[in-house]
Amino acid sequence: MEDCAVSFWIYIGVMSILVGGAVKKFLTFQIGAMPSVVAWLGATLLVERLCALCMPAVLARLVLCVSCWLYFTWATPKPFLPVEGKAVFITGCDSGFGNATAKRLDAMGFEVFATVLNLDGGGAKHLRRVCSSRLTLLQVDITQPQQVQQALLDTKAKLGMRDLWGLVNNAGLCVNIGDAEFSLMSNYRGCMEVNFFGTLTVTRTFLPLLRQAKGRIVTISSPSGEHPFPCLASYGASKAALNLFTNTLRHELEPWGVKVSTILPSAFKTGQSSNTEYWEKEYKNLIQNLPPSLLEEYGEEYLLETKELFQSYAKTANEDLSPVINTIVDALLSPQPQVRYYAGPGLTLMYFICSYLPLSISDRFLQKLFVQKKVMPRALRKQQGLSLNDNNNSIKENMNNSNNNSFTKIID
């Protein structure tokens, strides 16, 4: 009888630990954490069944000890590594994630090397005003190998005998407002030059310092590099190349003790994304350079709707950059950083649908998630006998719907 009473209370303790751990993981749920969540649920079910069979008190105590060990090993977050003496190099700090990361890391006590395109620009002036003397601003266009090499020399001169702990590859470019067929080749090349080749150049240049420190490489990528978002072919292709390079690098640098992490943000208001003049300029450039035959087949109203959709999504993007900045800090200071971080709302659902549901469902989901186009290309409308007025009304209706749609859109 006494053994049964002891077993009962131990059963309550074990189930509280396991269920509490499972709930905690669900509250911070990410697709990358799926195996550990499943493991917790499996362990909870197994212990529940054992306890239902009135296990002996000795066995119940053993299960309690194992459960406590698992809880404190898996569920309790490890303390961050100390910041003191650590230096980090960050690209693309004129605005957005880079600017916010430079400020956060400087406030934490890091020695920050922040690259900007314009040393006299608003972003650089803001960093000089709010950051400490530890922060060093460097003018670097990452598509220019000579400037990257000079940045390495300047960084080494400032560090002296000290190590470079981290590299944050943040600089990126998205210049696309249309379908893959009529997107300008300059857009494809521009995205590849900055997002892939530029990041590749910086990473290779600074790798000797990072290997010496057994440090960290943190790269800001995009879900569009893993999923086929309509109208983001040039940007997505460059990020896909970047993702493969980063994953390969992660395997190769493991023996050196260098940790490599990739961050995949959801929709945030960064860079030129909320600049109306920027979108107008890109649209006019597209119209002027598009072959007349292709413009006739798609129709200017089709291109106009796409531009309006991009502007609408940019206006409703999240202005709070802290989810991304927090993951950067975790990747730099966690004893065991994650290989992939999903930063921002909506990504868990999107990755679950795209990873586990049939292709027909995931394709339809992506089409509805990003560009809810109403206007058909002009050539297709002629085949179906639709008038231009019908589609002009569709444009207005689509704009109203997109403004009322609060679901997360994926564009960096």
pLDDT band for 73, please (50, 70, 90 cuts): low
Tell me how far CA of residue 152 lies from CA of 28, 156, 170, 171, 307, in angstroms.
Answer: 38, 6, 17, 16, 39
Q: What pLDDT does residue 32 have?
A: 46
For 259, the enclosing helix (H) or strand (E) is strand 259-265
Torsional class of 143: left (φ above 0), alpha (ψ -120 to 50), beta (otherwise): alpha
pTM assigned to the model: 0.77
Query: Residues in the chain, how many?
Result: 412
Could you read off the pLDDT of 151-170 as tens digits, one per residue? 999 999 999 989 999 999 99
pLDDT digits (tens, 9 = 90+) for 189-231: 999 999 999 999 999 999 999 999 999 999 999 888 888 888 8
Class of domain 87-283+319-344: alpha beta
Higher-scoring residue by pLDDT: 211, 279: 211
State pLDDT tens for residues 10-32: 555 655 665 565 555 544 444 44
Would you call 356 a catalytic residue per the annotation? no
Q: Please state, in angstroms and rounded to a whole number, the distance separating the CA atoms of residues 198 and 143.
A: 5
**Position 51, amino acid:** C
Find the radius of gyration of the CA atoms of the chain: 25
Kindly indicate the confidence band of residue 269, based on its pLDDT and cuts at 50, 70 and 90: confident
Please pick, among 235, 283, 313, 351, the residue that the annotation labels catalytic.
235
Q: Is the pLDDT higher at 62 or at 242?
A: 242
For residues 239-243, give the mean pLDDT: 96
Domain ranges of the chain: 2-75, 87-283+319-344
The tens digit of pLDDT for each residue in 364-397 reads 877 776 667 788 888 888 888 765 555 555 444 4
